[in-house]
Structure 1
Amino acid sequence: MARVKNTPVTRRRRKKILKLAKGYFGSKSTLYRTAHEQVMRALQYAYRDRKQNKRNFRRLWISRINAGAVQNGFKYSKLIHGLSLANVQLNRKVLADLAISEPTVFASYVELAKDAIANPAKYQVK
């Protein structure tokens, strides 16, 4: 009797890969071997880019905060230092959003940071 090469486990595994390869161009979506190669590469890219996405957004937020700080006559590094001295717990995402959507509120945070740098004893927690 001939050897059976299409066991349920193998079929399930191959169908899973072909399902992940749905929408790929040409034989990459129909042939198991090329689909498997493409899916593995795509998963590697997805893993890498999930990390890079975080870095890219942080860079974007920092550049937006810096632009808002420069408009108010301040630098990004001094702003962050002043806000930490003033015990302000806003993250960069929120600060960047404030710099774009609420410039007056952002300007008040810049003034707070300037004051905290000028008078650090005023903001120390006792």
Structure 2
Amino acid sequence: MSRVKRGVTAHAKHKKVYKAAKGFYGRRKNTIRAAKAAVEKAGQYAFRDRKRKKRTFRALWIQRLNAAVRPFELTYSRFIDGLSKSGITVDRKVLSDLAINEPAAFEAIVVKAKAALAA
């Protein structure tokens, strides 16, 4: 049985790591040990931040909605309460977009929510 020389496999593995580490600063891009650690850590950050991104955007939509309903003498929480009481099931992302791009449509929704609160 002939012996297996592993140079090709090792080179391919290293190449994959270097490709992922492209653009990193200093030895993190061209030394296999440092690059491996950096790529693994980058993957951890990416995984964590994919989850965090959802929270961040939801918080942004809530802030925008709060600012958009204030001229109608409502707070965000009262607005959401009014929406649920009136049976309007539009998510915060769409509401935020409406508040920015379609103020008339958003105003109609706010009026309905306000009416549901009064009733």
Q: After superposition, give the CA deviation of every residue in 1:60-100 in whole Å (9 maximum; x if it has no partner).
A: 00000000110111111111111111111210001111111
1:15 aligns with 2:15: yes
Instruction: Name the CA distance, whole Å, in 1 between partners of 2:72 and 2:7.
Output: 69
- Verify the 8 A CA contact 1:21 1:28 in the aligned structure 2: yes
Query: Structure 1: which 5+ runs fail to align?
Result: 120-126
In structure 1, the residue matched to 2:7 is 6
In structure 2, the residue matched to 1:122 is none
Within 5 Å, which residues of 2 pair with 1:41-52?
A: 41-52=41-52
How many matched pairs?
117
In structure 1, the residue matched to 2:85 is 85
1:73 is matched by which residue type in structure 2?
E
1:69 aligns with 2:69: yes
Instruction: Name the CA distance, whole Å, in 1 between partners of 2:8 and 2:97.
Output: 55
2:7 is matched by which residue type in structure 1?
N
Instruction: Name the CA distance, whole Å, in 1 between partners of 2:80 and 2:13.
Output: 51
In structure 2, the residue matched to 1:98 is 98
Instruction: Name the CA distance, whole Å, in 1 between partners of 2:106 and 2:91.
Output: 13
1:80 is matched by which residue type in structure 2?
I
- Verify the 8 A CA contact 1:68 1:103 in the aligned structure 2: no
- Verify the 8 A CA contact 1:61 1:93 in the aligned structure 2: yes
Give percent identity, aligned residues only. 43
Query: Structure 2: which 5+ runs fail to align?
Result: none
Instruction: Name the CA distance, whole Å, in 2 between partners of 1:33 and 1:5.
Output: 18
SS at match of 1:66: helix
Instruction: Name the CA distance, whole Å, in 1 between partners of 2:89 and 2:78.
Output: 16
Instruction: Name the CA distance, whole Å, in 2 between partners of 1:50 and 1:116.
Output: 37
1:29 aligns with 2:7: no
Instruction: Name the CA distance, whole Å, in 2 between partners of 1:117 and 1:11.
Output: 67
Root-mean-square deviation (Å): 1.8
Instruction: Name the CA distance, whole Å, in 1 between partners of 2:19 and 2:71.
Output: 51
Shift of 1:7: 4.8
In structure 2, the residue matched to 1:59 is 59
